[in-house]
């Protein structure tokens, strides 16, 4: 059984650019959540997808958007990158809408210069 895999592991982008981060959920998991973790802080919830529909969103602007595909993999898109978007982006999956705990991926470290 594979875990949650994220790509790429590291990324450097220029302010104003757009970025797409990818996540493959653990086999059998239909729920995917995305989190942003700034240096020295705990992860902050961005949004969650359940069976291809967004079913929750945190306090992030609309330039943060996402998708979940029929195989339950997911993408996080960030437009018009700002320096403060530099962070570790974590994807987590769960088998039952989040009611059985989450498994996290290793994250994508995004640096905006």
Tokens of 5: 């895999």
Tokens 């330039």 locate to 63
Q: Does 95 bind another protein (CB under 8 A)?
A: no
- Work out which of 1, 2, 14, 42 binds another protein, going by CB under 8 A: 42
Q: Does 86 bind another protein (CB under 8 A)?
A: no
Q: Does 106 bind another protein (CB under 8 A)?
A: yes
Q: What are phi and psi of 107, to 5 degrees?
A: 90, 160
C-beta atoms surrounding 44 within 10 Å: 15
Q: Which residue lies nearer to another protein by CB, 81 or 87?
A: 87
User: How near is the Cβ of 5 to another protein at its closest, in Å?
Assistant: 12
User: How near is the Cβ of 43 to another protein at its closest, in Å?
Assistant: 5
Tokens of 86: 């530099």
Per DSSP, which regions of 1-113 are E strands? 5-7, 10-13, 19-24, 31-37, 44-50, 53-57, 64-68, 74-78, 87-94, 103-104, 108-112
Q: Which residue lies nearer to another protein by CB, 66 or 107?
A: 107
Footprint of another protein on this chain (CB under 8 A)? 33, 35, 37, 42-45, 48, 55-56, 58, 88, 90, 92, 97-107, 109
């Amino acid at each position: 059984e594979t875990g949650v895999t994220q790509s790429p592991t590291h990324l450097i982008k220029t302010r104003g650019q757009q970025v797409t981060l990818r996540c493959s959920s653990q086999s059998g998991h239909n729920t995917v959540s995305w989190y942003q973790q700034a240096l020295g802080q705990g992860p902050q919830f961005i949004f969650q997808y359940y069976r291809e529909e967004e079913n929750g969103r945190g306090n992030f602007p609309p330039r943060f958007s996402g998708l979940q595909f029929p195989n339950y993999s997911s993408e996080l898109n960030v437009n018009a990158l700002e320096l403060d978007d530099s962070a570790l982006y974590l994807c987590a999956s769960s088998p039952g809408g989040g009611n059985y705990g989450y498994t996290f991926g290793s994250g994508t470290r995004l640096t905006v210069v």
